[in-house]
Amino acid sequence: MRENKTIRRRKDAAAPPETDSTTTLPTAEALPTAEAPPAIAVETPEAPVERGPSLDADALMAELNDLTPEQFAELMAAGAPRRYRPGNEATGTVVRIKGETVFVDVGAKSEAMLDLSELDEPPAIGSEIKAYVLRIGGNGMQLSQRIGGHDADRETLQQAKDAGVPVEGIVKSSNSGGFTVVVGGVTTFCPISQIDRFAGDDPSVYVGKTFSFRIIDIADGKIVLSRRVILDEEAEVKAVELWEKTAPGDIVDGVVTGARDFGVFVDIGGIQGLVHRSELSWSDEDAPPSRGDRVSVRILDVDKSAKRISMSMKDPRFAPWNKVGTEFVIGGIYSGTVTRLTDFGAFVKLAPGLEGLVHISNISKNRIEHPDEVLKANERIQVRVLNIDDDRKRLGLGIKQVSETDTITPREKPAARSHSAGNLGTMADLFGGLKLKK
């Protein structure tokens, strides 16, 4: 059947004269074979190929090799959308604000959303903003800087716990075990050990204040909070910076974390240092600070390799020695208290933190073998200032140089400092370099 169709197509193409319908058609084998015409080669011009700028592979590799690991990681991260999980901290750019929603580009496949009510004021378009990923769902990525306010319910707090997002609460009351904290309309509990890094002895200082907390447990209808975990995280980050920039001479604020016989430890926001007992105060009469007390300290020495810092609570502006030469002068007679007796003399305190030595030869006009023959500890006596050693900060005092007719020098009327009886005073100092003409 196929062969007959072929014959008909060729017959139509040749258009032969019509024949009688009874004429028998020849088969395909009986038809002569036609030879194919010789092939003629025709040259077709090639279409021009558009080429872009050539790539210098060597230059590209050299540029990549010059990148630091951080720059290379940043370059790779910029080429693909970031993947976030609930609890991750996200930094992005505000792209638009619609109604009560702030849309933020955080480098993900789609924009993230943040409730405008969480911010103190509407942010500017293009400004940078930081928040936590609260949840990711069919409505997109929901951000939150903190959870609080009247709209916070138990379901929201459960999401906050799962995501690790801080919540904002008001401390309403305290008891022996901790604090009652209200987050939105939900009453929660914060153990006393979790209210601060170094809590003091007075829990009432926290009542009525608003803090950020982290939810650490939800069980049996009870929600347990911790403020300390947030403060510890902040301190850990700050400690890296403190070790780099803290230097001797810095005045910083801190919190007393513990007391020992040899001194107290003070935390300055991420690292702890020691205030030796000799550096606690200018006066031995002052009581040492207690745990939780906030103090101001001066950095004495920083050992970064050993992670040690020594501090002082003595303010140089109020050093007792600053009174020498103004309130206490050579030749002046003052009342003092014997603090201790030694083989070579007696120490006498003239003011808090200021002592002088009465050598045994200046105690009595009569020869004595030991100061305890005529003096005793805590005895009030009168002494005369014999000499001042500014370099070593030492006062030389005398008892036998005070006669019964001498009176105590008024400290409210200080005289100018003088270091020797033969000193010509201020006039000689003024004209000491003047040469007179002959």
- Verify that 124 and 164 share a domain, yes or no: no
pLDDT at 375: 94
Residues 282 and 254 in one domain: yes
Domain that holds residue 209: 154-231
Contact 183, 148 (CB under 8 A): yes
CATH number of the domain encompassing residue 343: 2.40.50.140
Q: What is the pLDDT of residue 130?
A: 84
**Rounded mean pLDDT, 164-174:** 89
Has residue 28 been placed in a domain? no
Of 301, 318, 335, which marks where a domain is finished?
A: 318
Same domain, residue pair 342 and 384: yes
Whether 131 contacts 144, CB under 8 Å: yes
Show which of 293, 318, 343 is a domain's final residue: 318
User: Per residue in 389-438, pLDDT tens?
Assistant: 999 999 999 999 998 667 777 664 444 444 433 333 333 333 344 343 43
Residue 34 predicted with pLDDT over 80: no
Question: What is the rounded average pLDDT of the residues 128-150?
Answer: 78
Do 341 and 400 belong to one domain? yes
Q: Which residue has the higher pLDDT, 370 or 74?
A: 370
User: Could you tell me if residue 438 is inside a domain?
Assistant: no
Q: What is the pLDDT of residues 199-224, one digit of tens each?
A: 877 899 999 999 999 999 998 889 99
Q: How far apart are CA 25 and CA 30, in angstroms?
A: 10
pLDDT at 6 over 70: no
- pLDDT 10s digits, 185-197: 889 999 999 999 8
At residue 315, the pLDDT reads 86
Q: What is the dihedral of CA 199, 255, 229, 105, to 10 degrees?
A: 140
Highest mean pLDDT: which range of 41-45, 153-157, 267-271, 281-285:
267-271
Q: Is the pLDDT confidence value at 7 over 80?
A: no
Q: What integer pLDDT is reported at residue 334 of this predicted model?
A: 95
The beta strands (E) that lie in 151-285 are given as 167-174, 178-183, 186-191, 210-219, 222-226, 251-260, 263-267, 272-276
pLDDT band for 298, please (50, 70, 90 cuts): very high
My answer on whether 298 and 349 are in the same domain is no
pLDDT at position 41 is 53
Residues 251-274: tens digit of each pLDDT: 999 999 988 889 999 999 889 999
Residue 123 and residue 93 in contact, taking contact as beta carbons nearer than 8 Å: no
Q: β-strand 294-303 against 263-267: which pairing, if any?
A: unpaired
Tell me: do 310 and 366 sit in the same domain.
no
When the pLDDT of each residue in the chain is averaged and rounded to a whole number, the result is: 79
In a domain, 75, yes or no: no
Kindly state whether residues 169 and 214 are assigned to the same domain.
yes
329-367: per-residue pLDDT in tens? 999 999 999 999 999 999 999 998 899 999 999 999 999
Listed in sequence order, the DSSP H helices in 66-125 are 69-78
Is 376 a member of any domain?
yes
Say yes or no: 216 and 296 in one domain: no
pLDDT band at residue 14 using 50, 70 and 90 as cut-offs: very low
Q: How would you label 251-263 residue by residue, b for 16+ Cβ within 10 Å and e otherwise?
A: ebebbbeebeeeb
pLDDT band at 227 (very low <50, low <70, confident <90, very high): very high
Looking at residue 142, its pLDDT comes to 84
Q: Is residue 63 part of a domain?
A: no
In the chain, how many domains are there?
A: 4
250 assigned to some structural domain: yes
Who has greater pLDDT, 85 or 433? 85
In degrees and rounded to multiples of 5, residue 395 shows phi and psi of -110, 130
Q: Are strands 272-276 and 308-312 parallel, antiparallel or unpaired?
A: parallel
Same domain, 402 and 391: yes
Distances (CA, A) of 38 to 35, 44, 58, 137: 9, 19, 53, 72
Say if residue 375 is in the same domain as residue 291. Answer: no
User: Is 237 within a domain?
Assistant: no
pLDDT value for 148: 65
| Predicted confidence band of residue 77 (pLDDT cuts 50, 70, 90) | low
Strand partners, 210: 170
DSSP 37-69: PPP-----PPPPPP--PPP-HHHHHHHHHTS-H
Q: Let me know whether 325 and 417 are in one domain.
A: yes
Residue 307 lies in a domain: yes
Does one domain contain both 330 and 286? no
34-38, 130-134, 310-314: which has the minimum mean pLDDT? Answer: 34-38
End-of-domain residue from the set 231, 258, 291: 231
For residue 70, name the pLDDT band (cuts at 50, 70, 90).
low
Candidates 362, 365, 367; CA nearest to 398 is 362
